[in-house]
Amino acid sequence: MKRNCRLTLLLSLATAVVASGANFVAQAQAGGGTLSGDAMGGAALVFRKPENPASSRSGGGRLPGGVKPRAAAVAQDKTIAKANAARSAPRPRFSEAEQQYKLAVRQDPTDARGPAGLGNVYLDQGKFAEAAAAYQQAIKVRPEHVAAYQPLGYALVRLNRYSEAIATLTQALKYEPNNAEIYNNLSYMYVHAGRFEEAVEASNQAITLLGQTGQAYQQKLQNKKEVLSHAYKNLGNAYDGLKKYNDAADALKRAVEIEPANVSAHFNLGLALYNGRRYADAIQSYKNVINLRPELAAAHFNLGLTYVAVNDKVNAREEVATLQKLNPAMATELQRLIKR
C-alpha cells in the first residue's frame, strides 16, 4: 500500500527547513551543480561578477562618446582607473575603491560609471542594499547603461525584492532583447514570486534564444550549456508550481541531460516525480543526488520520505541511520513519519 506523504516545493538551499515546530518538508534545490555555500552560488539565477566600468587607463575600454575629453573628464577618468585598480587588486582594497568611485561621482554626477563602479564594490562585499541603491543611481543617470541592470537584479533578489528585480530585468530587455541570460534570470525571479505562467514563458524564450528551435545562438559572453541547463531547470520549477508534474519532470530531465553533474536538477527532478506519484523514478533521482553529494542531508530525507510513500520501511530506516550522522533532527522526523 502506498502512503501519501506530500512533498512541498520550496525554492531555497538544501538544508532542511522546519515548519510547524518539528515537522520537516522536503525542499527543492536552488543551487546549481557545485552547490556552493552562497545562496545564489551556481544557482538557476545566472550571475557573473560585473566588470569594472570603462576607463582609458585601466583596460576597461574607451571613454563614453568617443570624443576627446575635457580636463575635468580626464581627471575623473584617472579616478575611475584608481578605483578599478583597487577593486581588482589581488587583495581588493574595497575601502579605497569606494572612496575613489564616490569621488568620481562628485567629479561628474552625470556619468553612470561612478555609481555603477560603487555598486560593484558593494556587491563584492555583500552589501546588497547599498549596491542596489548605487546601481539604481547609475541607471537614473544613464538608462542605457546596460552593465548595471543584471547586477542590480541580483542585488534585489538577495534582498528578496522580487517585484523590483523583475521590473529591472524587464527594462533591461529594451536594450538587450535577445539576451537569453536575462530571460533565464527573469524566469528564476518569476518562480520565486509565484508567477509561474510568466516563468514558463520566460524560460521558453531563453531556450529559444539558445538555439533549441533553430535560432542561432547570439550571446558571446555566456556559457550556452550552463544557461540552457538553468533555463530547463527554471522551466521545470515553474511547471511544478503549476502542478504540471509530468511537464516539470520532462524539463528537469533535459537539465540533467545537459549537465549530468547538476545536483539541483536531479534533486528537483526527484521532487517533480514524487509530486506526480512516480515514486520509483523519484527514488532513482534521489539516489543520483546522493551519488553526487553523499553528505546532502535533504536528499537522504527526501529519499526516505519516498520510501515511506511506497511503504518500504526497511530502506526508509536505512536513511534514518544515515541522517543520524548528517542531521539528527531530520532523522528524528523521518523516524516519526515511518511510525505514523
* pLDDT confidence of residue 222: 53
Collapsing DSSP to helix, strand or coil, 335 comes out as helix
Please state, in angstroms and rounded to a whole number, the distance separating the CA atoms of residues 8 and 15.
Answer: 14
Please state, in angstroms and rounded to a whole number, the distance separating the CA atoms of residues 259 and 88.
Answer: 31
* pLDDT confidence of residue 71: 73
Task: Print the SS3 string covering 124-160.
Answer: HCCCHHHHHHHHHHHHHHCCCCHHHHHHHHHHHHHCC
Q: Would you tell me the crossing angle of helices 149-158 and 113-124 to the nearest 10 degrees?
A: 40
- Cα 7 to the center of its chain, rounded Å: 22
Cross-strand partners of 22: none
| Residue 218 CB partners (closer than 8 Å, separation 6+) | 178, 180, 209
Please state, in angstroms and rounded to a whole number, the distance separating the CA atoms of residues 32 and 29.
Answer: 8
Strands 28-29 and 11-12: what pairing? parallel
* pLDDT confidence of residue 264: 85
* pLDDT confidence of residue 212: 63
* pLDDT confidence of residue 116: 97
Q: What pTM was computed for the model?
A: 0.80
Contact 114, 102 (CB under 8 A): yes
Task: Please state the φ and ψ torsions of residue 41, each to the nearest 5 degrees.
Answer: -60, 120
Q: Cite the DSSP H helix spans in the chain.
A: 71-88, 94-107, 113-124, 128-141, 149-158, 162-172, 180-192, 196-207, 224-241, 245-258, 263-275, 279-292, 297-309, 313-326, 328-339
Q: Supply 50's cell numbers.
A: 560585473
Please state, in angstroms and rounded to a whole number, the distance separating the CA atoms of residues 92 and 314.
Answer: 54
* pLDDT confidence of residue 70: 67
CA distances from 232 to 11, 185, 187, 212, 326 (A): 15, 12, 10, 11, 30
Q: Per-residue confidence of the chain (340 residues) as pLDDT tens digits?
A: 444 444 432 232 222 222 222 333 444 433 332 222 222 223 467 778 899 998 875 434 444 554 445 677 888 999 999 999 999 999 999 999 999 999 999 999 999 999 999 999 999 999 999 999 999 999 999 999 999 999 999 999 999 999 999 999 999 999 999 888 899 999 999 999 999 999 999 999 999 988 765 444 444 445 678 788 889 999 998 999 999 999 999 999 999 998 898 888 899 999 999 999 999 999 999 999 999 999 999 999 999 999 999 999 999 999 999 999 999 999 999 999 998 7
Can you give the length of the chain in residues? 340
* pLDDT confidence of residue 40: 26
Could you give the domains of the chain? Answer: 47-176 (1.25.40.10)
Q: Could you give the maximum distance between any two Cα atoms of the chain, in Å?
A: 81
Please state, in angstroms and rounded to a whole number, the distance separating the CA atoms of residues 107 and 324.
Answer: 60
